[in-house]
Structure 1
């Protein structure tokens, strides 16, 4: 079967940055741009809007310098405006070579925002395109509010497309600016346009206001578009843009007659990086990249997985550089717990397994889930086993914090062969604690896990004396460990979570 290539243009750094409260630094933009082109392997990236700020200019300049050195300059795109040579001059100074010209795709926008006639608008666009091409800048054109244009002023849209067909533009980009389309409309509008202009290159740019952006992207491909505009984690204004990770998975599984260059295995890593840089946390149940989407909770599902993979589908976690997990809670069955014990290298007799299962179910009635890292403690508690006991304990500590003075910690750690005491300063109380702990473990020549993530959860509406849960993620020899601590003091909760890690290691 001959496959049709679909261009993927990622606009996380431009349209995705319009997510409320998100602003990437120049260094962050460069890092994300490099990963998108070299690891995720998208075809093009839209990185900024012209004339926005000095910081935006510096970010574009750094990206274009890197891209020029590495053969990617033609993949770097900037949103520009119908403003004579102003945007063009900005692009030249920034070193960019591809402009995405923002124009009006609906008569409503043209009449009430620009207060111009179609003929006036087209004349100004023609002048910008001519000037840009003369200065070595390629032009793509956005038809802003195109979806409403097709609904309410179709004659204007076709008048505009007739004009664009005469212009030296590379791509015509059709955005559902307000996210109003349903899949059947997306297909009908795009199919009509592509049938009328079969030689032109059309991109579809969706928004997710009705949670239909992935379905609309699929219908756009069915209608014959050549390119899709997407963002990592579906970042974007209001409900966001079309998520790249979901669309790629859908196309790979349901559109065998098309192909993309995107590397699925890199999607999760880049998703987590964008999440960290943006501070925009994605939901745990977000398809493909969410924390829980490859976690089985029901015991019957875990049992089915062991018996001919009865509950597997084509969305295998390994495709995205991830692995399946089995949650522990009140719906856990024996198979769920066995899978977790196997990952920890622990074997129990059938009788002991029944006792542990019962205890996890009881805990699940009070707490939604039990983590895999809680298992050794549950086993130790339930079975009174010395095999998995508390071999390391934080016996005592003094934490100091004074105004205009560096925090410090003095700690005493008890091992099976005695206690060791150390002190150290730090950038915060917990940092000082960890610095002192590192000294102790260096003295005893013992391995220590590396902290990779630190999350504090406080109940909504909690008061100053409310319990807070600290969840710390550690890396130990390439294995991810998560430990939790619970206390009304955040630092004490973190120390409790750290003690759990010391015993697991």
Structure 2
């Protein structure tokens, strides 16, 4: 679905061509705690190229020999995306980009009073001189040049226009406007870019940071006013709180504005996962577009709508970004959600069984637990198993324990309509309970517990326990038993009784 008609974007001043400049390998790597190897940079560059981004900033060659090596190796891949190297407005930095065999340079110098006075300690004239000299030197060596006025959004407007005019006269190919500390608002972004576009002929690029959570909104506002290019990073990585998010910008333009940049957006989710894994920066589950919950639904009302028409509660389909929809079960789950999930796993329950499973899901949700698909399958299978003829039924169980005293389990079973009860001790509560079961059934069946496997299906102290057992009888018959319960002891008893009942049914039909 597109919403172009809702926003009247025909009145906006979009550039004929909007370029996506990805700086994940440079600014994204400046995320605190992130350091990528050459091979990891290559993997990400290949993914970005396959996605179809226009430009990839591969690093800052002057900062290390490793940066030069990675730039050369990525350049050797002969990718379709244009490869870019960062450089300060210094001859040595520009030479490092040339040594990296790159054909596009992104050179910068601070222009705000804060940068002039406290970092560079240079006058306005010296700043302009350095910027123009860098652009001329780079152009003389055959490079495509993008010039950034670092901290542009805190630079006096007349000085910003002056330095941009001077580097434009020196034949800079792009003028970049960095919001270095993320202080812009969308309204200010719109006013600034409109002014620059009206007074300058060189294409305008924007590089916005996310300190107030506005990087994507500010970048969109700039594009609405004619910005020709936006700098982005995968997952919004970058210094401090990061940069404009690649996936958010691209999908907003595509879906909300109806502007298709020609990227293969079905690759966004896998790209996000790769970058998250290689950088160690895990995305919040509610991260737009690529988060685990981006297309997850629990509310019965929402799921009912989704199952009839996904657009009721999704602005785009998960397939557009290579993601997938999830129906999550919990306290807000509706009957339609549960039926959909059961159908997905080809589990057919009658009305009574369905009501029982539905009740268990709700109960687990009320206890604060999010029910996974594995939880549901185990609960449903246990419910199906309980519908078979069951010669032995558990009627009650209690455990008593004390310091330095072996646990005692008291178990009551109904065996062919007759109730029996006993108490046994053991090395632990499960062992005590199973000893009591063996004591009660010894007159009816001679069984041996050959395998016992316990697994917590999900994490946390309230996780569901799934017990799987294999039992055998004196006739050589074997049977499996399975049960799921929040109580490990009860899950163990039910699994063992499940297998014993199967053995008794086998014996009685032989």
- Alignment TM-score, normalising by the size of structure 1: 0.73
* Residue matched to 2:142: 136
Encode CA deviations 1:377-424: one digit per residue, 9 max, x unaligned.
11133343489xxxxxxxxxxxxxxxxxxxxxxxxxxxxxx989xxxx
Q: Shift in Å at residue 271 of structure 1?
A: 0.4
Encode CA deviations 1:245-289: one digit per residue, 9 max, x unaligned.
111111112223x44122210000100000110110000010110
Counterparts of 1:228 and 1:282, CA distance in 2: 22
Three-state SS of the structure 2 residue aligned to 1:66 is coil
Counterparts of 2:52 and 2:250, CA distance in 1: 12
Counterparts of 1:252 and 1:44, CA distance in 2: 19
- Cα gap change, 1:94/1:183 in structure 2, threshold over 3 Å: closer, same or farther? same
| 8 Å CA contact retained: 1:3, 1:259 | no
Matches for 1:231-246 after TM superposition, within 5 Å: 231-246=233-248
Matches for 1:8-407 after TM superposition, within 5 Å: 8-37=20-49, 39-67=50-78, 70=79, 72=81, 75-84=82-91, 86-149=92-155, 153-197=156-200, 199-256=201-258, 258-309=259-310, 311-385=312-386
- Cα gap change, 1:360/1:456 in structure 2, threshold over 3 Å: closer, same or farther? closer
Three-state SS of the structure 1 residue aligned to 2:58 is strand
Counterparts of 2:336 and 2:64, CA distance in 1: 56
- Cα gap change, 1:276/1:309 in structure 2, threshold over 3 Å: closer, same or farther? closer
| 8 Å CA contact retained: 1:303, 1:336 | yes
Q: Shift in Å at residue 23 of structure 1?
A: 0.7
* Residue matched to 1:391: none
| 8 Å CA contact retained: 2:108, 2:131 | no
- RMSD over equivalenced CA pairs, Å: 2.9
Q: Shift in Å at residue 15 of structure 1?
A: 0.4
Counterparts of 2:376 and 2:69, CA distance in 1: 50
Q: Shift in Å at residue 485 of structure 1?
A: 13
Counterparts of 2:303 and 2:462, CA distance in 1: 33
* Higher Cα radius of gyration: 2
Counterparts of 1:188 and 1:308, CA distance in 2: 40
| Residue ranges of structure 1 left out of the alignment (5+ in a row) | 388-417, 421-454, 460-465, 471-483, 489-505
* Residue matched to 2:394: none
- Cα gap change, 1:22/1:289 in structure 2, threshold over 3 Å: closer, same or farther? same
| 8 Å CA contact retained: 2:235, 2:247 | yes
Counterparts of 1:22 and 1:456, CA distance in 2: 30
| Residue ranges of structure 2 left out of the alignment (5+ in a row) | 1-9, 389-448, 452-456, 466-483, 489-510
Q: Shift in Å at residue 92 of structure 1?
A: 2.2
- Cα gap change, 1:161/1:308 in structure 2, threshold over 3 Å: closer, same or farther? closer
- Cα gap change, 1:244/1:469 in structure 2, threshold over 3 Å: closer, same or farther? farther
| 8 Å CA contact retained: 1:5, 1:259 | no
- Cα gap change, 1:308/1:42 in structure 2, threshold over 3 Å: closer, same or farther? closer
Q: How many residues align?
A: 394
Q: Shift in Å at residue 468 of structure 1?
A: 9.5
Counterparts of 2:458 and 2:238, CA distance in 1: 26
Q: Shift in Å at residue 192 of structure 1?
A: 0.8
* Residue matched to 2:479: none
Counterparts of 2:463 and 2:305, CA distance in 1: 36
Counterparts of 1:247 and 1:108, CA distance in 2: 30
- Cα gap change, 1:419/1:133 in structure 2, threshold over 3 Å: closer, same or farther? farther
Q: Shift in Å at residue 30 of structure 1?
A: 0.7
- Cα gap change, 1:117/1:322 in structure 2, threshold over 3 Å: closer, same or farther? same
Q: Shift in Å at residue 307 of structure 1?
A: 3.5
- Cα gap change, 1:320/1:310 in structure 2, threshold over 3 Å: closer, same or farther? closer
- Cα gap change, 1:485/1:139 in structure 2, threshold over 3 Å: closer, same or farther? farther
- Cα gap change, 1:96/1:106 in structure 2, threshold over 3 Å: closer, same or farther? same
Q: Shift in Å at residue 7 of structure 1?
A: 0.2
| 8 Å CA contact retained: 1:129, 1:139 | yes
Q: Shift in Å at residue 35 of structure 1?
A: 1.2
| 8 Å CA contact retained: 2:41, 2:70 | yes
- Alignment TM-score, normalising by the size of structure 2: 0.72
Counterparts of 1:100 and 1:127, CA distance in 2: 14
Encode CA deviations 1:292-336: one digit per residue, 9 max, x unaligned.
110111011111223444733332111112221110111111111
Q: Tell which deviates more after alignment, 92-101 or 15-24.
A: 92-101
Encode CA deviations 1:196-226: one digit per residue, 9 max, x unaligned.
11x2110111111111112111101111100
